[in-house]
Structure 1
Amino acid sequence: MKRFFNIFLLTLFSISLFSQAVPKDWMHKDISEGYYGVSAYKAYQELLKDKNGREIIVAVIDSGVDIEHEDLFQNIWVNADEIPGNGIDDDENGYIDDIHGWNFIGGSDGSHVDGETLEVTRLYASLRDKYEDVNPLELSDKDKVEYAYFMHYKKEVETNRDKAQANLDKVEPLYTMINDAMAALDMEIEKEFLSLEDLESIASTDRNIMIGKSVFTQILQDEGADSLNLSETVEIIKKETEEEMHQYRVKAKFQYNPDFNARAEIVKDDYSDSKERYYGNNDVEGPDPMHGTHVAGIIAAIRDNNVGMDGIAANVKIMSIRTVPDGDERDKDVANAIRYAVDNGASIINMSFGKSYSWDKDIVDDAVKYADKNDVLLVHAAGNDGKNNDEEDNFPNDTYNKQGFFLCKKKNPKAWIEVGALSYIQGENLAASFSNYGSESVDIFAPGVSVYSTVTNDKYRYLPGTSMASPVVAGVAAVLRSYFPTLKAEQVKEIILESVSSIDLEVRRPGDGELVPFSELSTSGGVVNLYNAVQLAMKTKGKKKIKKEEKPRV
């Protein structure tokens, strides 16, 4: 995402500027076409042709969704029991005018939480008054344990905040330099497209022109391009530099700032009461729904309409539950979002978010148990830290804090799928370099590099992340729940994991790059495959009783 910005830095003081050309629909393709996609085209053409499924609601707990997007608007859930805009809770579910979902990080006046702290910052802030100026030698044994946590949180917060501010101080003058250099180059050459010959003809010794010439030359050489559009390239460079600055600014100003608390001013809930349910507003888009819109498109972008791209699943309605700010989501909101989804008819919940610390895991566990009890499948992104989730925490997860009495077997939800990210690149780089993994904690891998999907304002974009891999699996699950409605959530999970595309290959393990069998990176050892899953579903007897009015149209 920051390829232009990195080129600029390297040229000033070599990497490819553009991603390798990858088909926009690679996630749908079959291995016979050269990609470990989910074989969606093959499944629809050979197994699901002339069949109709029932409508499925998939909840997207995320930053918000652009519900008016040209390739999504027909597939947005509508709460038929609520009358829009009348200010009344018509369906008496506790949420007024929740037409398309709910926003748990908004205020009753329509305002939003955007920038937010990280969980580690909140934990540090909660202990700061108690331990900031104490003599640790005078503490009780119990308090010494808590003090050790406090010092750990403090170090992480202050180190990362200082680092973010230092990076911001470096990037801001570079942004000015970029603008000056490219503006000077544009004035010097006055052509729409620039080639190496055009650049070599520049004789000026002006510093800005020389910088612009050097940067553009490097770009052309790395791409092997004959020429590139100057204004378009400049705009992308500026955009990526702005994104870089935004990232550092948010970290310094919000995420690692223990004095920042937008929630208290905006949401105005009783944050100490984790069981409080009814707060927020009905704006399911929020100030920046790009991430959630991309996730929603992967699952449910309108299929076969010759617009943009196709989602994995037909017959899906997206319920948008805004819970994830530009910082860490809060456990209370996650728990309430899960319960809202379950209570309002979702069959699948996608959760493309995560964090390394948890404020109140028990309240999330209770919500997960509620979903599990009510036959709702939870699909969660494994994370993008290149770490082993068997050894390091990633929240939320499918391991309950409370495991029962004495020698009782460890209990986990039956219908939870943890998803790692797969690259489109064959061979040893097949596992995404950033993806978390775990032979016990990550269930499956799915396309998660250069995934093309919907973003805001009727646009589309390639994005990477386990955030993209998770909705691929959620989409596959939605197809199964649509066409095979007697399957219970736990059966859908079993089918997905048992029908993977197995990969007998050594790959570079995310994080350290050591060559290991791909099969060791997850419990299933493979990649999600819709074609295989549909075949297995056809042979599986469902355990769920369907009411007469719910029976599918076949």
Structure 2
Amino acid sequence: MNVKKCILLSFLGLASGPLFAQMQESSADKAPLNWFNLDYQENGVRGVSTEKAYREILNKKKSHAVIVAIIDSGVDIAHEDLLGRIWKNEKEIPGNGIDDDKNGYVDDIYGWDFLGNKNGQDIDKETTEITREYARLKKVFENTQDAGSLTPKMKADYDLYLKYKAKYEEKVKELEEQGPFVIKLYEKYNESKQLLTTYFNKADFTREDLAKINDASSDDLKRAKRIFEVLEQMGQNEEKLKEAYDYFNSQYKFAINLDYNPRNIVGDDINNLKEKGYGNNEVKGPDARHGTHVAGIVAANRNNSLGVEGVCNDVKIMVLRAVPDGDERDKDVANAIRYAAENGASIINMSFGKAISPQKTAVDEAVKFAQAKGVLFIHAAGNENEDIDVNDNFPTRKYLDGKEAENWIEVGASSWVSPPGAVAEFSNYGHKSVDVFAPGVDLKSTVVGSKYEDLSGTSMAAPVVTGIAALLKSYYPELNAAQIKKIILSSALTLPGTKVTQPGSGELVDFGSLSSTGGIVNAYEAVKMAENMHAGHHSK
């Protein structure tokens, strides 16, 4: 999943398609602060009742630190609200250039970056997986005249080529419908801003200043004024316009660029799925905005007076950088999962995804390995407003052999807006494939440089569930992954008879039809259930 796409832009009403997940509209302008931790009965928003759980059940109980691995774009481990919340590999001596704990990674103090090299260089932008596979197969099959003469193996690859060619061209067409307009608007905006700054002799001109430009003014000034009026009429601003521009610019230059391949930066053999140890120990990377936001939702310090409050107050975040701006590679995901499982993580948060998985075998093996070690997976369902019972979103709990990972929770995004807007309009859904929904619209959390932002996406919903899982493990360490999953799903609050707008189609449907539980996770109900199990266990 493209990181910028997962961060969620709201621009020009384009969110009805898969390009952007748009902020929910409501009569209220803004989501209440900390809404995802609030309680519906007490606060009127469908948060997960974290504050209530701490206040009524956990206030005098002892917690134990839980290691949560976050496979993402990187994390700003120096963020003021994450200090003391980052995992440290005590078996490794920092900076000595030796693999002290013999885990295959040198000086891995806070985790590992699978997208870099030993010289500290890192991949930032990547292509989509469709682009990579289409480019690979295009070299082989572009000039094929007679498909009937191909061997069965070649014919299967040729069919894939045609499939990926169609998907690639569909993506290009989608970008062409919207991209040129946004790029041109941004360029015109900048020209207009420069002209008006010179005219008014100040950069922060107002609506009143613009009103002084009238029919007697030059055509250039009138055109410049009109650009600002158009943007205002759209309810947009310079920040959102630039983010939309950056998205499309990145898509054209990198995501769909058949000739772009930054993997030589890493220097590994991408086809050697057994290879490990490549990368570096610099876990922040070039753009840690997304991963830092995810980390804050799980673990931002609840006991200081700063910023925001994460769901769990006793977490150590293991940082595993494997998600660039573009599609992650299966090899990196598999190695990150194995690293997490081998180095003590109880829970893995995966706020990423993509449409195809050419090396899925490696990911499946890694998931099976981690599951055998008792690891719980929390995965974001994706932001394409699609039914993933029908459309693929990888990684998935479904193995190639037809079996499924048991310790896996697939998460859709809910909103703070009342029904029918209670489901994020960008969220994927699926009565079989999505387990549960969690807050994923307008969540304020940590971003790079000890700053905070409101972001939206199933990427934000997944760490809410990860935080609840960590909360249960922290206060009830005897619980295993299967038990934690069962508690989270069994305690989810259902909304019987509630009609919501189905993402993508806009139709009113039963909320219960969009996931297997038909519910929204709730920390208070989950803790209450765990407490009852704990009391029953100790009364025997």
The 2-side partners of 1:219 and 1:128 are apart by 41
The 1-side partners of 2:406 and 2:147 are apart by 47
1:71-470 correspondence to structure 2 within 5 Å = 71-140=81-150, 142=152, 143-161=154-172, 164=175, 168-186=179-197, 199-203=210-214, 205-211=217-223, 213-214=225-226, 237=238, 239-263=239-263, 265-403=264-402, 411-470=403-462
The 2-side partners of 1:383 and 1:467 are apart by 7
Distance 1:417 1:17, change over 3 A: closer
Deviations 1:240-272 (A, max 9, x none): 333223222222222222322211x21111211
The 1-side partners of 2:62 and 2:200 are apart by 59
CA RMSD of aligned residues (A): 2.7
The 2-side partners of 1:92 and 1:369 are apart by 22
Distance 1:360 1:220, change over 3 A: closer
Aligned to 1:52: 62
The 2-side partners of 1:66 and 1:46 are apart by 33
Q: Give the C-alpha shift of residue 306 in structure 1.
A: 1.5
Q: Give the C-alpha shift of residue 530 in structure 1.
A: 0.2
Q: Give the C-alpha shift of residue 310 in structure 1.
A: 0.6
Aligned partner of 1:57: which letter? I
Aligned partner of 1:296: which letter? A
Q: CA contact under 8 A between 1:485 and 1:544: conserved in structure 2?
A: no
Residue in structure 2 matching 1:28, options 27, 37, 53: 37
Q: CA contact under 8 A between 1:196 and 1:220: conserved in structure 2?
A: no
Q: Give the C-alpha shift of residue 159 in structure 1.
A: 4.4
1:511 paired to 2:504? yes
Aligned partner of 2:242: which letter? E
The 1-side partners of 2:339 and 2:28 are apart by 39
> SS of the residue aligned with 2:308?
coil
Deviations 1:64-123 (A, max 9, x none): 001111111221111111111111111111100100000111112211111112111222
Deviations 1:370-411 (A, max 9, x none): 1111111100000001111111111001111114xxxxxxx3
Q: CA contact under 8 A between 2:183 and 2:249: conserved in structure 1?
A: no
Aligned partner of 2:133: which letter? L
Q: CA contact under 8 A between 1:488 and 1:544: conserved in structure 2?
A: no
Q: Give the C-alpha shift of residue 216 in structure 1.
A: 5.1
The 1-side partners of 2:439 and 2:168 are apart by 33
Aligned partner of 1:157: which letter? Y
Q: Give the C-alpha shift of residue 155 in structure 1.
A: 2.7
Q: Give the C-alpha shift of residue 212 in structure 1.
A: 5.0
Q: CA contact under 8 A between 1:112 and 1:287: conserved in structure 2?
A: yes
Q: CA contact under 8 A between 2:53 and 2:524: conserved in structure 1?
A: yes
Aligned partner of 1:428: which letter? P
> SS of the residue aligned with 2:53?
helix
Q: CA contact under 8 A between 1:112 and 1:266: conserved in structure 2?
A: yes
> SS of the residue aligned with 1:427?
coil
Aligned partner of 2:268: which letter? D
Q: Give the C-alpha shift of residue 3 in structure 1.
A: 4.7
Deviations 1:153-198 (A, max 9, x none): 1232244346546755444443232123234445555789877655
Deviations 1:275-300 (A, max 9, x none): 21221111101100110000001001
TM-score (norm 1): 0.87
Q: Give the C-alpha shift of residue 368 in structure 1.
A: 0.8
The 2-side partners of 1:280 and 1:208 are apart by 52
Considering Cα pairs closer than 8 Å and 6+ residues apart, tell me whether 1 or 2 has the greater RCO. Answer: 2
Q: CA contact under 8 A between 2:12 and 2:234: conserved in structure 1?
A: no
Deviations 1:196-247 (A, max 9, x none): 6555454353345434544555777787xxxxxxxxx9xx50x433322322
Distance 1:542 1:249, change over 3 A: farther
> SS of the residue aligned with 2:437?
strand
The 2-side partners of 1:398 and 1:146 are apart by 25
Distance 1:526 1:189, change over 3 A: same
Aligned to 2:20: none
> SS of the residue aligned with 2:243?
helix
The 2-side partners of 1:68 and 1:429 are apart by 37
Aligned to 1:523: 516
The 2-side partners of 1:388 and 1:3 are apart by 22
**Which deviates further from its counterpart, 241-250 or 304-313?**
241-250
Deviations 1:18-53 (A, max 9, x none): 982212211011112111101011111111112221
1:477-496 correspondence to structure 2 within 5 Å = 477-496=469-488
Q: Give the C-alpha shift of residue 308 in structure 1.
A: 0.9
> SS of the residue aligned with 2:70?
strand
Aligned to 2:532: 539
The 1-side partners of 2:101 and 2:476 are apart by 29
Q: CA contact under 8 A between 1:185 and 1:208: conserved in structure 2?
A: no
Which 4+ residue blocks in structure 1 deviate beyond 6 angstroms?
Answer: 4-7, 15-19, 190-195, 218-223, 542-545
Aligned to 1:549: none
Aligned to 2:5: none
Q: Give the C-alpha shift of residue 304 in structure 1.
A: 3.0
TM-score (norm 2): 0.89
Distance 1:6 1:394, change over 3 A: closer
Q: CA contact under 8 A between 2:476 and 2:534: conserved in structure 1?
A: no
Distance 1:348 1:95, change over 3 A: same
> SS of the residue aligned with 2:58?
coil
> SS of the residue aligned with 1:334?
helix
Deviations 1:307-359 (A, max 9, x none): 11111111101111000011111111111100100111111100000001001
Q: Give the C-alpha shift of residue 544 in structure 1.
A: 11
Q: CA contact under 8 A between 1:295 and 1:467: conserved in structure 2?
A: yes
Distance 1:324 1:460, change over 3 A: same
Q: CA contact under 8 A between 2:189 and 2:227: conserved in structure 1?
A: no
The 1-side partners of 2:9 and 2:378 are apart by 28
The 2-side partners of 1:469 and 1:266 are apart by 32
> SS of the residue aligned with 1:68?
coil
Q: Give the C-alpha shift of residue 497 in structure 1.
A: 0.3
Aligned partner of 1:111: which letter? Q
> SS of the residue aligned with 1:420?
strand
Structure 1 unaligned regions, length at least 5: 8-14, 224-232, 404-410, 546-554
The 1-side partners of 2:274 and 2:65 are apart by 31
Identity, % of aligned positions:
46
Distance 1:197 1:251, change over 3 A: closer
